[in-house]
Amino acid sequence: MSTATDVPVQQDLGTGLAIRSLSKNFGDFTAVDSIDLSVPEGSFFALLGPSGCGKTTTLRMVAGLEQPTAGAIYIGGQDISGMRPYQRPTNTVFQNYALFPHMTIFENVAFGLRRRKVDDVRTKVMEMLELVELSHLANRKPTQLSGGQQQRIAVVRALVNRPKVLLLDEPLGALDLKLRRQMQLELKRIQTEVGITFIHVTHDQEEAMTMADTIAVMNKGHVEQLGAPVDLYENPHSAFVAGFLGQSNLISAKVVSRDHDVLVLDFEGIRLTMPAARARTTEADIEIGVRPEKIQITDPGQPVPGDNTVDGIIIDASFVGVSTQYLVRTKGDEELTVFSQNTATTQRRVGDHVTLSWHPEHTFGLRAGSYDEAVAAEIAT
Amino acid sequence: MSVVAAASVAHQSPTDPAGSKAGKSTSMDGVPGRRLTPYFLLLPAFLALLVFYILPTLTLASTSLQTGSLEEGYSLTWRWATYGDVITQYWPQFRRSFVFAAVATVLALLIAYPLAYTIARKAGRYRNLMLALVVAPFFTSFLIRTLAWRQILADHGWAVQIFKATGLMQLTDWLGLTQGRVLATPIAVILGLTYNFLPFMTLPLYTSLEKIDPGLLQASDDLYANAWQGFWKITWPLSLPGVVGGTLLTFIPAAGDYVNQQFLGSTAETMTGNVIDSLALQQRNYPSAAALSLVLMVAIVVLVAIYVKRAGTDELV
Amino acid sequence: MATITRPGPTRQQVRPQRSPGRWIREHLVTFFGLLALIYLFVPIFVVVLFSFNRPTGRFNYTWVRFSLDAWSHPCDVSGLCDSLLISLKIGLLATIAATILGTLAAFALGRHRFQGRSVANLLIFLPMATPEVVAGSSLLTLFINIGVPLGQLTIFIAHVMFCVSFVIVTVKARLAGMDPRLEQAAMDLYANKTQTFLRVTLPLVFPGIVSAALLSFSLSFDDFIITNFNAGSTVTFPMFVWGAYQRALPVQVNVIGTGMLLVTLLLVGLARLLGTRRKQ
């Protein structure tokens, strides 16, 4: 059993949150399958994934509301796995806020402080209420507040206790779009001001990318990929991550040769190149991906901006205001999606012959079969 | 903020469960609980029910097989004949109990259904008030209420006089339901039973009717059903759980009741309950009383089982 | 000012069809519903009315004349007020016992998953479904066979027995309506199990416990059949009425009945008032 006294283990646990080989089974069903995570102190960390991927279960295990089947959780090097929720230096913002309906807002926020017998409750509570500009509602009951107000109270009720880690379980799910955007910025601001480690669980990839410093993409109990938003987006390691964060094209190609750190590929007889470092497989069969917004669309015969060039015919065009989404069919019947900003003066139409091009550095390579996996996971476009 | 995050994905390594709680049962919300807590909580009530419900049922059965008297004492002689005696001797009362209870249940259903429907669908903001009004009369004593019916149905009271004046009394006399008076007839007893168990019928009906989505009736209107069809094909079937619940809650106690009979009926036409009361408390014939009780209990259970099976709903509690 | 007009025939105002049949149908049900409500109150009206009666004979069945005698001398009838006190005493004690037992059991059934839960649920349900005659006579046989003398103790036991099930069902329903995350939130905010229970769970379940207690009291106070079987020589208020019916029915009985109604209406009104005031 790992304890805080095991020195070798302790050394790489850092000062933030560390999760080691954490698993949770519900009978036959494995919700969380032996995951490892290290979250630096003071960062905004997102657990992103579809429903049922285990992100909420993981969060609840950190909070102490679920017991792990195996594995350990450390905060600041200290093993908290055996502690009850009220013994842990964590606080949770619940999905439906869980504000105590029979207490005033003031008493709700003061609850944790009173249990810990902290001095000067009044000052601390009012300070927090002022942080979210709701001090005038201190004597109201939760049912008298709007959804957005309740959400902010839920956050400060947790924050006032200065936990080492703040856990947020899809806290913005019940809010309408405009309010959600507002709260995303608000939460980020609070986190930056207060400097506490935030662990934010969400299924909304835009939300995660907006708010988090680091994202862990989870699927079926595993962590698929972990990294900064821009890294996950530009260089996904699997079809799942590629499809979950935004949209992506995935086409099959063959590796012809490797020239230093450049891979030469053959796609429908066309020569394409990509950086070898961005390929996740060393096989001859590879599936390469390009994000639709990275592809430029030009008339045939015109000079092309990128080195990878493919010709095709437009088979669908959707005008979306800011951009137009084109679906282009290549000679070999592959269909590529292209997002083109509407800066051109001429409108392209279905049936037009066009040339698509992109920079090799924008290509990422996945193992063969990835597209089928993505389809099976119902995230392929 | 530095973005240093060591990541490793899905590797298996042998670890011991870190938490000491990892093996224990969890309570429904995932909050860890000790395994034995529920049993301790349940124990007092469980013991009480065991000693004062299960055990009495056993002593009831045992008493029914005893013989003896108050002076000599009772002994367990396994006299099964008591059952035969009791059934043959009191069969009329037995049948009467079930007939009265059944009629009262049907009447209660007919009266309570519009009431429940009104509260559920038409009362709007008066709903809680009406529910309170349905329950309020039952804050006076059961016996006093029943006695009030005696006062209402008194031979020289205004109600009966009006009834006679309209000539309806002649009709009911001719049908054999009354004999020139309402009191001391089966009608009075049934009326009393119906009245007293009305809330037991109304509340489950209300609960069921309240759950029906009003959009369904609008859809049925849109699809060319008239009001009667809408009721029969949509409202009625969806209210069945309430109907079953209400009829059971009415029939079961009504079958065993004897207060209504005592106050409103005639001494010539008693119900099973009267007999058990008389046997147990006046004649001190405990074995017969016990036997009759058990027979009543079993009969009710059987009837209820058949009824519930046919009705097809099993939501009772 | 230019206006855009549509060519073609102008459309006529179409009034929605309102056949008389529809009006009757729509209001027929309400009519019968209200009639049923009135029907519920007729005997109550009679009870209250006859409490102001001054009968000539031993029985209070026909209206003679208005009088406040019974109201001013409620305890004149021998045995009435004694039986009332006994009913109140047993009611109070049985309520306390049944509420405690039932609340504990409700927490066990409503908050924990354990083996034998369905059996326990069945056992809880059975007393509610048993006719009173059977319940009363079976308890009688128990007491006789064991040799317990019949009296206030046996009445108390009988009352607790049939009240517990109702308490369990009421409290369990209230518990089920409570968001379990509130308890989790409390624990997350450093409240241990006891504090969570006392500060969050109990206050939220409390209204359910109160209504279970009230239900229990009214069931106990008003019970006749089960009590009658197990009372021996003790006389509770319903038993008094039963006996008085045959000998002489005093007007005071109606007074007590009216009194009970008034007290309950008062309590309900008070509860609603407190409820609305809390919301503000």
B18–chain A Cβ distance below 8 A for any pair = yes
CB A154 within 8 A of CB A93: yes
CA distance B50 to B43: 10
Q: Which chains touch B (3 or more CB pairs under 8 A)?
A: A, C
Cα nearest neighbour of B252 on chain C: C131
Contacts of C48-51 spanning 24+ positions with Cβ under 8 A: C48/C254, C48/C258, C48/C261, C50/B148, C50/B151, C50/C251, C50/C254, C51/C251, C51/C254, C51/C255, C51/C257, C51/C258
B214–chain A Cβ distance below 8 A for any pair = no
CA distance C212 to C100: 10
Interface contact flag, C121 B157, Cβ < 8 Å: no
Residues in C whose CB is inside 8 Å of some CB of A read 179, 181-182, 184-192, 195, 199-200, 203-204, 279
Interface contact flag, B32 A84, Cβ < 8 Å: yes
Chain C residues whose beta carbon lies within 8 Å of the beta carbon of residue A98: 179, 181-182, 184-185
Distance from CA of C79 to the nearest CA of B (A): 17
Cα nearest neighbour of B33 on chain C: C112
Q: Which among B30, B115, B252 has CB closest to C36?
A: B115
Interface contact flag, B3 A228, Cβ < 8 Å: yes
Residue type for B231, please? F
Cα nearest neighbour of B101 on chain C: C131
Distance from CA of A145 to the nearest CA of C (A): 13
Cα nearest neighbour of A72 on chain B: B18
Query: Could you write out the DSSP letters of every residue in C112-135?
Result: ---TTHHHHHHHHHHHHHS-HHHH
Interface contact flag, C132 B132, Cβ < 8 Å: no
Roughly what angle, to the nearest 10 degrees, separates helices C152-176 and C202-222? Answer: 140
Distance from CA of A23 to the nearest CA of B (A): 10
Residues in A whose CB is inside 8 Å of some CB of B read 1-2, 12, 20-21, 33-40, 42-44, 60, 65-73, 79, 81-82, 84-85, 213-214, 216, 222-228
Residue B47: CB partners within 8 Å, gap ≥ 6?
A: none
pLDDT of residue C4: 46
CA distance A148 to A163: 23
Residue C83 C-alpha from the chain's centroid: 21
CA distance A166 to A93: 8
Query: Could you write out the DSSP letters of every residue in A271-332?
Result: EEEEEGGGBS--SSEEEEEE-GGG-EEE-TTS--SSSEEEEEEEEEEEE-SSEEEEEEEETT
- Burial degree of A220 (CB within 10 A; 0-12, 13-18, 19+): middle
Chain C residues whose beta carbon lies within 8 Å of the beta carbon of residue A166: none
Interface contact flag, B10 A39, Cβ < 8 Å: no
C109: pLDDT strictly greater than 90: no
Interface contact flag, A71 B4, Cβ < 8 Å: no
Interface contact flag, A158 C188, Cβ < 8 Å: yes
Distance from CA of B182 to the nearest CA of C (A): 14
Chain B residues whose beta carbon lies within 8 Å of the beta carbon of residue A225: 7, 9
Q: What is the maximal distance between C-alpha atoms in chain B?
A: 100
| Helix (H) and strand (E) counts in chain A | 10, 20
Interface contact flag, A72 B3, Cβ < 8 Å: no
State pTM to two decimals: 0.74
- Within 10 A of B248 (CB to CB), how many other CB atoms are there? 22
Interface contact flag, C131 B256, Cβ < 8 Å: yes
Q: Extract the tokens encoding B10.
A: 């899905």
Q: Which of residues 31-50 of B touch C (CB under 8 A)?
A: 31, 33, 35, 37-42, 44-46, 48-49
Hey, is B280 helix, strand or coil? helix
Distance from CA of B175 to the nearest CA of C (A): 25
Residue type for B131, please? L
Q: Which site among B21, B26, B34 would you substitute to test the A interface, given the most A Cβ atoms closer than 10 Å to its Cβ?
A: B21
Interface contact flag, A96 C179, Cβ < 8 Å: yes
Distance from CA of C105 to the nearest CA of A (A): 24
CB B294 within 8 A of CB B61: yes
pLDDT of residue C276: 64
Residue C204: CB partners within 8 Å, gap ≥ 6?
A: A101, A102, C178, C182
pLDDT of residue A11: 54
Residue B251 C-alpha from the chain's centroid: 6
CB B133 within 8 A of CB B119: no
Q: Which residue has the higher pLDDT, C229 or C14?
A: C229
Query: Could you write out the DSSP letters of every residue in A10-22?
Result: HHTT-SSEEEEEE
Cα nearest neighbour of A110 on chain C: C189
Helix (H) or strand (E) holding C90: helix C80-111
CB A229 within 8 A of CB A212: yes
- The residue assigned the tokens 């006994």 is C86
CA distance B103 to B194: 8
Residue B227: CB partners within 8 Å, gap ≥ 6?
A: C22, C25
CB A239 within 8 A of CB A371: yes
C142–chain B Cβ distance below 8 A for any pair = yes
- Burial degree of C273 (CB within 10 A; 0-12, 13-18, 19+): exposed
Q: Which residue has the higher pLDDT, C4 or A209?
A: A209
pLDDT of residue B70: 67
Hey, is A104 helix, strand or coil? coil
CB B273 within 8 A of CB B261: yes
Q: Which site among A10, A67, A84 would you substitute to test the B interface, given the most B Cβ atoms closer than 10 Å to its Cβ?
A: A67
pLDDT of residue B13: 27
- The residue assigned the tokens 């043959």 is B88
Interface contact flag, C114 B115, Cβ < 8 Å: no
Q: Which among B38, B74, B289 has CB closest to C137?
A: B289
pLDDT of residue A2: 41
pLDDT of residue A354: 92
Cα→Cα distances A290→A232, A249, A309, A339, Å:
13, 5, 12, 11
Residue spans of chain A under pLDDT 50? 1-10, 381
Q: Which among A65, A102, A115 has CB closest to C184?
A: A65
Interface contact flag, B141 C187, Cβ < 8 Å: no
Chain B residues whose beta carbon lies within 8 Å of the beta carbon of residue C164: 45, 48-49
Residues in A whose CB is inside 8 Å of some CB of C read 63-65, 84-86, 90-92, 94, 96, 98-102, 111-112, 115-116, 141, 157-158, 161
Cα nearest neighbour of A85 on chain B: B31
Cα→Cα distances C103→B39, B44, B45, C49, C115, Å:
14, 11, 9, 40, 19
B66-B69-B74-B78 Cα dihedral, nearest 10 degrees: -20
Angle at C72 between CA C70 and CA C75, to 5 degrees: 70
CA distance A317 to A294: 17
Interface contact flag, A161 C191, Cβ < 8 Å: no
Distance from CA of B208 to the nearest CA of C (A): 16
CB neighbour burial string for C167-192, b if at least 16 within 10 angstroms, e if fewer:
bbbbbbebbeebbbbbbbbbbbbbbe
pLDDT band for position C275 (50/70/90)? low
Q: Which of residues 56-85 of C touch B (CB under 8 A)?
A: 60-62
pLDDT of residue A90: 92
Q: Which residue has the higher pLDDT, A156 or C68?
A: A156
Q: Which residue has the higher pLDDT, C82 or B311?
A: C82
ipTM score for this prediction? 0.78
Q: What is the maximal distance between C-alpha atoms in chain A?
A: 76
pLDDT of residue C15: 47
Distance from CA of A369 to the nearest CA of C (A): 42
Q: Which of B243, B127, B246, B198 is nearest to C30 (CA)?
A: B127
pLDDT band for position C270 (50/70/90)? confident
Q: What is the pLDDT along chain B (317 residues), one digit of tens a residue?
A: 122 222 222 222 233 333 223 333 333 344 445 567 778 888 888 888 888 899 999 888 888 888 877 666 777 778 888 888 888 888 998 899 999 999 999 999 999 999 999 888 887 788 888 888 888 887 788 888 888 888 888 777 777 788 777 777 777 777 766 777 778 888 889 989 999 999 889 988 998 888 888 878 778 777 777 778 888 888 888 888 889 889 998 999 999 999 999 888 888 888 999 999 988 888 888 888 999 999 999 999 888 888 888 776 544 43
Q: Which of B67, B72, B59, B99 is nearest to B83 (CA)?
A: B67
Beta bridge partners of A365: A279, A288
Residue B300: CB partners within 8 Å, gap ≥ 6?
A: B252, B255, B256, C131
The string of pLDDT tens digits covering residues C127-143 is 888 899 999 999 999 99
Residue type for A23, please? S
| CB-facing half-sphere around the CA of A55: CA atoms within 13 A | 27
CB A109 within 8 A of CB A128: yes
pLDDT of residue C17: 54
CB A37 within 8 A of CB A71: no
CA distance A216 to A230: 13
Chain A residues whose beta carbon lies within 8 Å of the beta carbon of residue B18: 1-2, 68, 70-73, 79, 81-82
